Amino acid sequence: MDAGSLGLLTSVYFLSFGAAQIPIGILLDRFGPRRVQSALLLVAALGAALFGASSGFVSLMLARALIGLGVAAALMAGLKAIVLWFPRERVALMNGYMIMLGALGAVTSTRPAEWLLSSAGWRGIFEVLAITTLAAALLIFLAVPERKIAQQAPPAGLRLEVIFTNRRFWQIAPLSASCVGSAWSLQALWAAPWLTDVEGLNREALVTQLFAMTVGICVGAWLLGTIADRLRRRGIGSETLLALVALSFVLAELALILRLPVPSMLPWSVVSVVGAATVLSYATIAEYFPTELAARANGCLNLLHFGWAFAIQSGTGFILQQWPVQDGHYPLIAYQVAFGLSVAVQAAALAWFSVPWIRELGGWIVRTLLHHRSGHEDAVEAIIPPIEISIMEAHECAEW
């Protein structure tokens, strides 16, 4: 299977996952996480069973799409449950704990899966996945408590257009989607080819590094959630931390692309941590919209996350195959072009996200200069930027 076909097959998971986000958000707001999650996990179990029995590309793609659809509520249901059961000031921390535990599934896809592969084969692995997913669906439906949700049509102020016309949503969404979606794409597929084609790692070293990266997702989710919780107590929102994480991600990718003399594990560890940065973006989105609209708002953001992950994962494969394979490996320049295009998008999104801060800083500089030139005595009024150009927490301004 060439790079283009492999990228398409693996990325169809993101496509079906992302396409279901808004409908699932509506269902979660209406019926609650217990019923929606348990029902969709049955679809995931069917997809895993079909994948294990498939022998052709089309059936593999169909099975992969069913798996993506079946687990499409896994993250959203947890986020909705957190919003229902915990106060807003603890959302970032609880998101971190949930994503940390959820990332343990990614840990099993490396070293543990390698051990199981040698004894049961890849078809046996998917049979085990089908059985355990079915068991999880039954456990959630029978054991998870449910909080009553008023089942009524949302008023005009709680419709989807409120989300898609919200200026702050479009300030954060491109940055979160381009960074998180790219990190997922690298973690899910393109880290392994890079490490073998460019770094020259053998199978044993590759599995070890991928295992360390998946552990990094768990640690990153816990760490980001904890830091965000501490910063919030000091009046610093999750937005600021998200911007710093995005900047670190861009720098880490540039270190890889430019082949800077740093240990390979360092930039790839940053990539794995960024995969957990949804802890921050979901907490920020929760500040912009009421609880009744929380799942739909996260669904809209997730649509962009997985849409970009699909585009960049499949697009990277198509870019790579524009270069001829050399001794079974794609050349460095192919990866540099593919990764470089992704970095360009992330840098543009970071610049867009930073516009209000830049305007605030510019306003402060202009007012300071005017104050010194005019000799005005009221220095306080001269240096405080106008409130409408500041990045503000949701509760601080009625406009949000």
DSSP 8-state secondary structure symbol assigned to residue 272: H
Residue 378: the pLDDT is 53
DSSP 8-state secondary structure symbol assigned to residue 86: S
Residue 111: the pLDDT is 78
Residue 398: the pLDDT is 41
CATH classification of 3-144+158-396 is 3.20.20.150, yes or no?
A: no
Q: Tens digits of per-residue pLDDT, 62-115?
A: 999 999 999 999 888 988 888 888 887 788 888 888 888 888 877 887 778 888
Residues of the chain under the 70 pLDDT cut:
1, 148-158, 374-400
Cα–Cα distance for residue pair 147/345, rounded to 1 Å = 41
Please identify which residue in the block is written with the tokens 């990190």.
183
Of the candidates 211, 183, 161, 224, the one whose C-alpha atom is nearest the C-alpha of residue 306 is 183
Domain limits, the chain: 3-144+158-396
CB atoms within 10 A of CB 179: 31
